C-alpha cells in the first residue's frame, strides 16, 4: 500500500461519511478545520477504512496528532499497515524465509 492508495481510500471514505463528494485531497488539508470533521465522523471514517483497506486500529494507539492533516493521517495508516505486516511475518513486503 502506498500514499496514493491511502489518499484515494480516504477520499472514498470521506465522500461516504460526509455525504458529499470529497476529491483532490492533498497533504496539508486539515481534517477537522478544513473538512469540518468531528469525533463521530472521524470514527465513521476509520470504520470505512477498516472495511476498504483492512486497517486494524487499536484504540489505545490513537493519538490526536495523527488526525491533524491528510499527511499525518496517511502516515498513521501506513505505519499501522507496516505493524500488521510485521506481526504477520512480512517485513517491507518481503516474506521472512522459513526456518531450515
Q: Which helix (H) or strand (E) holds 91?
A: strand 90-91
Q: Cell digits for 30?
A: 486539515
Q: How far apart are the first and last CA of the chain?
A: 30
pLDDT of residue 20: 96
- Output 52 or 93, whichever has higher pLDDT: 52
pLDDT tens sequence across 21-61: 999 999 999 999 999 999 999 999 999 999 999 888 887 88
Residue for cell digits 496539508? 28
pLDDT of residue 49: 94
pLDDT grade, residue 4 (50/70/90)? very high
pLDDT tens sequence across 69-80: 999 999 999 988
pLDDT of residue 60: 83
How far apart are alpha carbons 35 and 31 in whole angstroms? 5
Amino acid at each position: 500500500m502506498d500514499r496514493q492508495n491511502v489518499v484515494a481510500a480516504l477520499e472514498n471514505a470521506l465522500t461516504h461519511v460526509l455525504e458529499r463528494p470529497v476529491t483532490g485531497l492533498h497533504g496539508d488539508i486539515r481534517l477537522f478545520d478544513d473538512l469540518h470533521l468531528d469525533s463521530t465522523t472521524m470514527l465513521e471514517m476509520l470504520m470505512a477504512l477498516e472495511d476498504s483497506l483492512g486497517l486494524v486500529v487499536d484504540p489505545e494507539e490513537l493519538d490526536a496528532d495523527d488526525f491533524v492533516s491528510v499527511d499525518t493521517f496517511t502516515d498513521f495508516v501506513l505505519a499501522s499497515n507496516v505493524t500488521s505486516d510485521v506481526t504477520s511475518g512480512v517485513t517491507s513486503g518481503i516474506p521472512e524465509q522459513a526456518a531450515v
